[in-house]
Structure 1
Amino acid sequence: VDQLNEEKRAKQAPINFTFYDSDRLCVGDSLRKNFGYAALSKIYHELEIDKFLIHRQRYTKEKYDANTIMKMLVYSRILAPASKKASFDNREWFFEKSNYSLDDVYRCLDFFHKHKESLQVWMNDRIKKNYGRDTSLIYYDVTNYYFETDNQTDFLRKGVCKEHRPNPIVQMGLFMDNNALPITYELFPGNTNDCLTYRPNFGRIKKQFDLGRVITVADKAMTTGDNIW
């Protein structure tokens, strides 16, 4: 009983701290930090994305830290979506390493692209293990991204833009499971019809992610005769 009373008094005791008038912030100082991203960090490490990137980079010659850059991009994309440069400029917002350059961020994108498919399979396995996958229903839709340019390439093409812009676009098809957790995505040239993105994407993920029998939910634009068959 005495021990419980002592613990109760300790919890209710005031916390004292001291500060001095000379302890002032200078104009322009930015000491604001985001601690709430700790929840995202927990998921990031449960998925072992750090382990995947560290292992893949171990025998390469790149001098940047792919895991540190990936964390910054992931946390920034969720909490404050912006360009890569803007995210880099705000990297001090997190309690993470920041000793990398903007050029390192851009160079790292090629590394991420090289391992994107194996990373998605890696994450899928850990989602199954940690949270469970419900693929009894799969949801699929297509969106696109426009680029501030008039120049077209084999991949960057003018098509039906969701934002009704005349710029070249890239199509992205995304699959989600019945818990609204992403399964995988695929990119297509901007002039690809939405309905034509479904079959090659679906055939790949059935095999790659071992989904078994599923029911797909999609809008009318996707459910053409060929896709239903």
Structure 2
Amino acid sequence: MDAVLINGTQLLLNQVYDSIGFNQISDEILRHLVITRVSQPRSKLATVDYLRSYYDEDVDLNHIYRYMDKLYNTQMELAQQISVEHTRRIFGGKIGLMFYDVTTLYFETSKTDSLREPGFSKDGKAAESQVVLGLLVSEGGYLLSYSIFNGSQYEGFTMIPMIDDFKQRFNIGEDFVVVADSGLMNKNNVALLQQAGYKYILGARIKTRAPPSSNGYSH
């Protein structure tokens, strides 16, 4: 190769990656995976070809798979801490609004294990094994945390444990407001939110709206 073309997208995303703080994680393979996921989302195999063709990065596919295990087992807590601190900096040190949602991710197989099980599928794949993904984001869509649940888990039972865990792990002392869709804001979860002292926004029809509680807001 006589020359390497400087890619403007790569330069920009490298700066964003560093400004967030992910350069605290020493493995450069994470940088490659994140930047490629943002600019050219594709499978891990196609990512290897893309990095080799456009960035002259010779990354082995098996190395990527091994690194994904390393990321999950030893670096995930640091990665989430970096993300949370970045979000708090953007919003002046406070989370403010905390949006929670849940979805299902299915596998093209009927085989099950301790995590992958059939359950209510948002993709209409009731016969396939799946996992349940819970996601916490801030205003503007900045990632706060995520968690994977057993595929047969009822989504209504995922919200409170995840919020409690997030608050404890990242020492969130300031008030924040929980926002979720009406399916997650069932009577049981609203009672648990009130019991824990969390503020929340509850969607309801105007004609049937009851007066808001001291820490709940109707909309």
TM-score normalized by structure 1? 0.73
Residues 139 and 177 in structure 1, CA contact (< 8 A), matched pair in contact too: yes
Task: Report Cα offsets for 1:88-144 as digits up to 9, x if no partner.
Answer: 12113554x623311110110111001212320133224433664552211110012
Larger relative strand fraction: 2
- CA–CA distance in structure 2, aligned partners of residues 191 and 37 of structure 1: 40
Q: 2:102 aligns with which of 120, 142, 145?
A: 142
- CA–CA distance in structure 1, aligned partners of residues 87 and 98 of structure 2: 15
Q: CA deviation at 1:81?
A: 1.8
Residues 35 and 94 in structure 1, CA contact (< 8 A), matched pair in contact too: no
Q: Helix, strand or coil: the match of 2:82?
A: helix
Task: Report Cα offsets for 1:35-73 as digits up to 9, x if no partner.
Answer: 21322211111122122x22xxxxxxxxxxxx2221221
Q: 2:70 aligns with which of 93, 102, 111?
A: 111
Q: Mark the structure with the bigger radius of gyration.
A: 1
Residues 109 and 129 in structure 2, CA contact (< 8 A), matched pair in contact too: yes
The answer to whether 1:222 aligns with 2:184 is yes
Q: Which residue of 1 aligns with 2:60?
A: 101
Q: Which residue of 2 aligns with 1:173?
A: 134
Residues 104 and 133 in structure 2, CA contact (< 8 A), matched pair in contact too: yes
- CA–CA distance in structure 1, aligned partners of residues 91 and 11 of structure 2: 19
Q: Helix, strand or coil: the match of 1:37?
A: helix
The answer to whether 1:48 aligns with 2:21 is yes
- CA–CA distance in structure 2, aligned partners of residues 200 and 175 of structure 1: 12
- CA–CA distance in structure 2, aligned partners of residues 90 and 131 of structure 1: 35
Counting only pairs closer than 5 Å after superposition, residues 66-85 of structure 1 correspond to structure 2 as 67-85=27-45
Q: Which amino acid aligns with 1:45?
A: D
Q: Helix, strand or coil: the match of 1:175?
A: strand
The answer to whether 1:208 aligns with 2:165 is no
Q: Which residue of 2 aligns with 1:188?
A: 149
List alignment gaps of at least 5 residues for structure 2: 192-219
Q: Which amino acid aligns with 2:111?
A: N
Q: Which residue of 2 aligns with 1:37?
A: 10
List alignment gaps of at least 5 residues for structure 1: 1-30, 55-66
Q: 1:158 aligns with which of 101, 118, 122?
A: 118
Residues 159 and 190 in structure 1, CA contact (< 8 A), matched pair in contact too: yes
The CA RMSD over aligned residues, in Å, is 2.1
Task: Report Cα offsets for 1:125-176 as digits up to 9, x if no partner.
Answer: 2443366455221111001211121110010111122211121111111111
Are the structure 2 counterparts of residues 130 and 224 from structure 1 closer, same or farther at C-alpha, using a change threshold of 3 Å?
A: closer
Residues 141 and 174 in structure 1, CA contact (< 8 A), matched pair in contact too: yes
Are the structure 2 counterparts of residues 160 and 177 from structure 1 closer, same or farther at C-alpha, using a change threshold of 3 Å?
A: same
Q: Which amino acid aligns with 1:223?
A: M
